[in-house]
């Protein structure tokens, strides 16, 4: 996008200015502390329930509460909280729950402990905290949550269907006081009340195994209704359900106290609408001549409409959709309009996106404008759809011939950079079509930028690839006849994704989806929901189940998710065990998928069997089932031996032929026997540096771990060399060849073979940007960024990095700058957290450390004790500063 490209240099300059401004504030910290001594802690902020802000339709009987603490003093933390939940909007009554003063430093995952919550109610809550000195904060602002429908008997509607339009009118005897809609419309729905679309959701509800679970969505529709006549209109598309079915309930509490309910049943009317056909892969055809103006308004003439019919229920339980919805999140005006053939117009958005085009057109009634979508162009400027395989990616709009018509589809989406328009009446203008960026509207939480442009470019294409592959589930790609929840792709990208976006609610939902595909035998499937691929899953794909659950615990402190899935995780690992031969799970379909140098699939599978067991051991420990933990640990030890017996060549110190991935995986998990460690590491190093001139030959599995292994072995410089390459195979090669999202393959391919140009799976290296370059790491065996190791890798010619993550406990950031004999590190640690900050001394002699301009450490001694700084030590080439919460501007100088 041109707009974004132009502002990037400005952003970098701005970032630098901010860093300099912050670094040059002398002694500000101590001044702040004196002033703050008399301060009460500020009120908690960013209140959430089940990870969401003011959620509607919670069907969790004991929801969990979250808030953040913005205490400006250093070394601060919460020592207690009080939380009240009420039925009244001021939350004063505390008639549902008054937690009393609870002594804890935790402000996340606080489980509701009040009276049983009722279905379809609004509850109000607020919280206050006490700080380290026992000072009490003001109450937070009041937040809300709405409950959904807790029990099956709350569902009184029937599944109905018919044509793709459904409507119902009703009378309200008085003004509405509170009105809620609970809706599930399969495959996709658009809800309209009195002529207006309700809510910003598109491609809703999220995709599930419909025979197991169907998501319903709750809307506050109070503002849409009025006393007297009202009309409900629902449009249905086929989506992944490939059929149409509606479940609907409206509850209205009128101001005069009258309660009113409307359900889906055969009193609804149905008719065919303007959508002639819709398919996720092939596109949508919309004939505007068939529009029925007023169909979603009261007093519509229903002539020709038939009674809706009850249809077969999808079979799954109705469960609340508790994650951000898919939305139109951005609109892009094309950069270029070309005219490569008579009547053919090709628009270039300059960015590969997921979504669709919005069309503006004037012309004669009945004109058929065709839009086709592609990631690629042929040399002659025509679009190249070959890599879409069986997906037609083609929309049609048939004009009604009434002035300017603006249209966009509802029930399809495409992955594309180019839009071809044919059949346009006259000559289109550059903004006659606009790109609409559509994906699950997760909030960005990460920021990473640095002095090396190629790394910023990689970060940019990772972000685009990642977000455009969040479509209620993590998808492999967004363009061809696939877009599946391939579990291997999901697991390798998860950590990168969690550093860049708030995925707590999203993965909670996805883990439930994974649980839904589990068979009696414990097996799970390659894709979730299961359409493509096999059952049982390739172990490197199935590992998404334990890994995502574990990441949820690590990144968000989510113990409940471990409790919820423990039984099924065990069943899954037991399934793997039933497939093991002499301690090794060897079956594999994909192995180190799309690698250049092959690593045997059996090694990859055996590695993940071991990894899954390790995770299960940790989960069992966390849940306090120690005996089980011990048993798994024992088993893991046996597997380790079997693994080395099978794959390690004791002479050459290579695993299974010595590809990069073969040697990386055992190094990553510490599987390598001590006496072979340096040999295996040496082989990996030589392969990278001498055999491949610092290029990766790994597939998606090896790529996920190799840079972390390099950093583990003190070779972040090599990781940097790899990432800054621009010849084949490298990220830079993709970018040099025009990639604006990550490719599926290292190779440049554009034909009909498998070559998606938007596949996020190689984006796993994005996690390394935060962990290594910005240095933001969770301390071992800790969760939710409560304890941090800030250890930036100041590699090669990199002169500055700025990284931040808005974690579940608040903002963590690290920005560093390296100049001649001077290293500046600016760190932010959220209240309640602690960090060890590592600053490398390099060749500086007589190193001295300043904080906010004050000399705090020199001659290996603490000079001044500043607030928040607990200790400073010299440890193997680094000055290590132990701090509590707050902002720190550190500067290391020397001779």
Binding site for ligand BGC (CB under 6 A): 476-477, 482, 486, 488-489, 590, 593, 759, 761
SS3 content of the chain, % helix, strand, coil (to 5): 25, 30, 40
Shortest gap between Cβ of 514 and ligand BGC (angstroms)?
15
Nearer to ligand BGC, 198 or 547 (CB): 547
CA–CA gap between residue 80 and residue 886 (Å, rounded): 19
Contact 157, 249 (CB under 8 A): yes
- The DSSP secondary structure of 9-69, one letter per residue, reads HHHHHHHHHHHHHHHT-TTHHHHHHHHHTTPPPPPPEEEEETTBSS-S-B--SS-EEEEE-
Nearer to ligand BGC, 107 or 758 (CB): 758
Nearer to ligand BGC, 759 or 800 (CB): 759
Shortest gap between Cβ of 476 and ligand BGC (angstroms)?
4
Shortest gap between Cβ of 761 and ligand BGC (angstroms)?
6
Packed helices 559-579 and 544-556: angle between N→C axes, nearest 10 degrees: 160
CA–CA gap between residue 364 and residue 519 (Å, rounded): 56
Nearer to ligand BGC, 367 or 491 (CB): 491
- Who contacts 163 (Cβ-Cβ below 8 Å, separation ≥6)? 270, 271, 272, 273, 306
Nearer to ligand BGC, 538 or 836 (CB): 538
DSSP designation for 700: H
- The DSSP secondary structure of 243-291, one letter per residue, reads S-EEEEEEEEEETTS-EEEEE-STTSEEE--SEEEEETTTEEEEEGGG-
Look up residue 163 and give its two tokens: 């044509």
Cα 601 from chain centroid? 28
Shortest gap between Cβ of 632 and ligand BGC (angstroms)?
28
Shortest gap between Cβ of 869 and ligand BGC (angstroms)?
47
Contact 352, 197 (CB under 8 A): no
Cα dihedral 238, 241, 242, 247 sign? negative
CA–CA gap between residue 207 and residue 314 (Å, rounded): 13
Nearer to ligand BGC, 593 or 643 (CB): 593
Nearer to ligand BGC, 257 or 390 (CB): 390
CA–CA gap between residue 213 and residue 316 (Å, rounded): 4
Nearer to ligand BGC, 204 or 489 (CB): 489
Q: What are phi and psi of 196, to 5 degrees?
A: -120, 145
Contact 543, 524 (CB under 8 A): no
CA–CA gap between residue 788 and residue 827 (Å, rounded): 11
Contact 42, 375 (CB under 8 A): no
Nearer to ligand BGC, 477 or 707 (CB): 477
E strand or H helix that includes residue 185: strand 176-186
Shortest gap between Cβ of 561 and ligand BGC (angstroms)?
24
CA–CA gap between residue 546 and residue 565 (Å, rounded): 9
Shortest gap between Cβ of 457 and ligand BGC (angstroms)?
23
Nearer to ligand BGC, 308 or 742 (CB): 742
Shortest gap between Cβ of 464 and ligand BGC (angstroms)?
17
Shortest gap between Cβ of 69 and ligand BGC (angstroms)?
41
Shortest gap between Cβ of 570 and ligand BGC (angstroms)?
25
Cα dihedral 778, 781, 785, 790 sign? negative
Shortest gap between Cβ of 589 and ligand BGC (angstroms)?
7
Nearer to ligand BGC, 468 or 807 (CB): 468
């Amino acid at each position: 996008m041109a707009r974004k490209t132009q502002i990037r240099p400005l952003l970098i300059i701005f970032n630098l200015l901010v860093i300099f401004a912050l670094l040059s504030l002398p002694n500000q910290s101590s001044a702040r502390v004196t002033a703050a001594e008399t301060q009460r802690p500020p009120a908690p902020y960013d209140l959430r329930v089940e990870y969401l802000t003011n959620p509607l339709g919670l069907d969790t009987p004991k929801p969990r509460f979250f808030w953040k603490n913005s205490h400006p003093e250093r070394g601060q933390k919460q020592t207690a909280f009080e939380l009240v939940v009420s039925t009244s909007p001021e939350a004063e009554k505390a008639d549902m729950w008054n937690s009393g003063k609870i002594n804890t430093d935790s402000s996340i995952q606080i489980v509701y402990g009040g009276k049983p919550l009722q279905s379809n109610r609004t509850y109000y809550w607020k919280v206050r905290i006490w700080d380290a000195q026992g000072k009490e904060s003001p109450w937070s602002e009041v937040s809300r949550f709405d409950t959904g429908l807790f029990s099956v008997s709350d569902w009184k509607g029937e599944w109905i269907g018919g044509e793709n339009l459904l409507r119902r009118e009703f009378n309200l005897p008085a003004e509405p006081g509170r009105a809620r809609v609970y809706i599930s419309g399969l495959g996709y729905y658009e809800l309209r009340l009195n002529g207006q679309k309700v809510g910003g959701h598109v491609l809703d509800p999220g995709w599930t195994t419909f025979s197991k679970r169907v998501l319903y969505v709750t809307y506050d529709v109070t503002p849409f209704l009025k006393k007297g006549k009202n009309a409900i209109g629902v449009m249905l598309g086929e989506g992944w359900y490939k059929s149409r079915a509606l479940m609907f309930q409206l509850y209205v509490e009128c101001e005069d106290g009258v309660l009113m309910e409307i359900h889906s049943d055969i009193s609804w009317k149905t008719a065919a609408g303007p959508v002639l056909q819709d398919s996720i892969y092939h596109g949508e055809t919309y004939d505007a001549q068939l529009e029925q103006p007023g169909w979603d308004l009261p007093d519509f003439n229903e002539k020709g409409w038939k009674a809706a019919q009850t249809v077969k229920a999808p079979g799954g339980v109705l469960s609340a959709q508790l994650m951000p919805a898919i939305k139109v999140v951005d609109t892009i005006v094309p950069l270029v309009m070309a005219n490569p053939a008579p009547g053919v117009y090709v628009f270039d958005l300059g960015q590969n996106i997921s979504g669709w085009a919005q069309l503006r057109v004037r012309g004669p009634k009945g004109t058929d404008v065709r839009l086709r979508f592609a990631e690629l162009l042929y040399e002659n400027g025509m679009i190249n759809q070959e890599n879409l395989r069986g997906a037609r990616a083609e929309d049609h709009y048939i004009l009604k011939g009434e002035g300017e018509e603006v249209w966009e589809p509802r029930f399809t989406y495409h992955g594309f950079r180019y839009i071809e328009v044919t059949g346009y009446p006259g000559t289109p203008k550059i903004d006659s079509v606009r790109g609409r960026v559509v994906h699950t509207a997760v909030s960005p939480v990460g920021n990473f930028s640095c002095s090396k442009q190629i790394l910023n470019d990689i970060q940019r294409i990772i972000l685009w690839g990642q977000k455009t592959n969040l479509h209620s589930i993590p998808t492999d790609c967004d363009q061809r006849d696939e877009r599946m929840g391939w579990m291997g792709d999901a697991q390798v990208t998860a950590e990168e994704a969690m550093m860049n976006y708030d995925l707590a609610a999203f993965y909670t939902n996805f883990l439930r989806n994974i649980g839904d595909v589990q068979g009696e035998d414990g097996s799970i499937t390659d894709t979730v929901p299961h359409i493509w691929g096999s059952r049982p899953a390739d172990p490197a794909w199935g590992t998404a189940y334990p890994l995502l659950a574990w990441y949820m615990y690590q990144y968000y402190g989510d113990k409940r998710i471990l409790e919820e899935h423990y039984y099924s995780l065990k069943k899954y690992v037991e399934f793997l065990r039933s497939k093991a031969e002499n301690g090794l799970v060897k079956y594999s379909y994909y192995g180190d998928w799309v690698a250049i140098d092959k690593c045997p699939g059996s090694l990859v599978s055996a590695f993940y069997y071991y990894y899954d067991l390790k995770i299960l051991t940790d989960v069992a420990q966390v849940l306090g089932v120690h005996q089980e933990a011990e048993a798994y640990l024992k088993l893991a030890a046996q597997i380790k031996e079997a693994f080395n017996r099978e794959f390690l060549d004791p002479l050459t110190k290579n695993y299974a032929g010595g590809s990069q991935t073969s040697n990386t995986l055992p190094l990553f998990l510490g599987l390598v026997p001590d006496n072979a460690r340096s040999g295996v590491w040496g082989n990996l190093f030589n392969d990278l540096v001498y055999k491949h001139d610092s290029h990766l030959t790994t597939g998606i599995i090896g790529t996920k771990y190799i840079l972390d292994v390099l950093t583990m072995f003190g070779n972040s410089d090599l990781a940097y060399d790899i990432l800054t390459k621009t010849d084949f195979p490298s990220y830079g090669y993709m970018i040099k060849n025009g990639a604006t999202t990550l490719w599926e393959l290292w190779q440049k391919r554009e034909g009909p073979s498998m070559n998606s140009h938007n596949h996020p799976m190689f984006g796993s290296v994005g996690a390394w940007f935060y962990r290594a370059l910005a240095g933001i790491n969770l301390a071992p065996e800790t969760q939710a960024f409560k304890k941090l190791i800030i250890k930036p890798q100041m590699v090669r010619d990199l002169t500055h990095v700025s990284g931040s993550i808005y974690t579940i406990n608040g903002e963590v950031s690290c920005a560093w700058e390296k100049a001649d004999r001077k290293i500046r590190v600016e760190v932010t640690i959220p209240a309640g957290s602690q960090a060890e900050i590592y600053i490398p001394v390099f060749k500086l002699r007589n190193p001295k450390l300043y904080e906010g301009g004050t000399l705090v450490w020199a001659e290996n001694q603490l000079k001044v004790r500043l607030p928040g700084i607990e200790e400073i030590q010299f440890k193997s080439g680094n000055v290590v500063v132990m701090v509590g919460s707050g902002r720190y501007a550190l500067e290391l100088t020397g001779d």
